[in-house]
Amino acid sequence: PLRQALQRLAGQGLLQVYPKMGWFVAPIDFDKMDELYDLRILLETNAVGKLVDSPDLAPLDALEALWLLPVERRLTEASAVGQLDEAFHTCLVAAGGNREIARVHQEITDRIRLIRRLDFTKTNRVEATYDEHGRILRALLARRKDEAQRLLRAHIEQSKLEVRKITLDALFKAKQQRAGPPAE
Three-state SS letters, 58-91: CCHHHHHHHHCCCHHHCCCCHHHHHHHHHHHHHH
The C-alpha atoms of residue 144 and residue 138 are separated, in whole angstroms, by: 9
- If pLDDT is split at 50, 70 and 90, which confidence band does 183 have? low
Amino acid, single-letter form, for residue 88: F
Q: CA-to-CA distance for 126 and 76, rounded, in angstroms?
A: 7
Residue-wise pLDDT for 76-134, tens only, equals: 998 899 999 999 999 999 999 999 999 999 999 988 888 888 888 888 899 999 999 99
Residues present in the chain in total: 184
* Nearest partner of 43 among 81, 90, 88, 11, judged by Cα: 90
pLDDT single digits (tens) 13-65: 778 888 888 888 887 788 889 999 999 999 999 999 999 999 999 999 999 99
